[in-house]
Amino acid sequence: MSRAERLLDLMQNLRRRRRPVAGSALAEELGVSLRTLYRDIAALQAQGAAIEGEAGFGYVLKPGFTLPPLMFTLEEVEALALGARWVEGRADKGLSRAAEDALAKIAAVLPPERAAALDWPTLLAGAGRAGAAESAALPVVRKALSEERKLRFAYADKDGRPSDRIVWPIAVGFFEQVRMLAAWCETREAFRHFRLDRMAVVAALDEKLPKPRRTLLRDWRLAEGLEE
C-alpha cells in the first residue's frame, strides 16, 4: 500500500467514528506501527485535516470536515447497491424513489466496469414489501421524525386491544417482516415500540417534541442497554 492510500484509509477510518479512538487501535486496524500512525496524523493535520487529539488521549475527526470526492471500490459499490435495493423493497414510495435516485447518481460518476455492478449485481435483496398499513403510516412517521413533532395514532396490540396513543417518535427499525417505531409513549410514560402495521389514523401533530430527538435517542439507547 502506498503512503497516499494509507492516508486515505486513515481518514476513512476516522470518518466512521464519532468518538475519540486510541492511536494503538487505529495502528492495529491499519496494520502500521504506532510511530507511523503518529507521523501520518501529523501529515494530515499539516494538510488541513481537522483531526483533534493527541497521543494518550485518542483522535477524532472534527464534525463538518469533508474529504474531496473519492472513487468507490467494487466492494463499496456492491454494498451501496445491496442497501439501496433493500430499501427499495421495504420502504414507502418516497424512500424507494430516493434509493433509486441515489443509485442513478452513483452510477453516473462510476467508470463503466464498476457501474456494471449496479446493473448486474452479485448480491440480491430478497422481497419483503411493506403492507398497506405500513406504507400509509411510514411517510407520516418519517415527517414527524424529521420535524421533531409528536405523533398521534390508533393502535392495536398483539391481542387486538385498541388504544389511542400520543408519542414522541425516536426512530424506525426496519426488520425482515415488520417496521417498528421506537418512541416515548405519553400514555405509558415510558419508552415503547409500535409496529407500523398495527397503526391507523396516523397524524403528525403541530406540537414539537419536549426534548430534542437526539436526546431521546440517547436516552432510549441507555434504557435498552445499547449504549457502549
pLDDT in tens, 133-168: 888 899 999 999 999 999 999 999 999 999 999 999
Pick the CATH number of 3-61 from 3.40.50.300, 1.10.10.10, 3.30.70.260, 1.10.3720.10: 1.10.10.10
Q: Classify 132-223 by CATH class.
A: mainly beta
Place 228 in a pLDDT band, splitting at 50, 70 and 90: low
Nearest CA among 114, 123, 110 for reference residue 84: 123
Q: What is the average pLDDT across 101-106? A: 84
pLDDT per position as a tens digit, 176-209: 778 899 999 999 999 999 999 999 999 999 999 9
pLDDT of residue 197: 93
Position 2 scores a pLDDT of: 72
Enter the pTM of the model: 0.65
Sequence-distant (6+) residues with CB within 8 A of 177 are 128
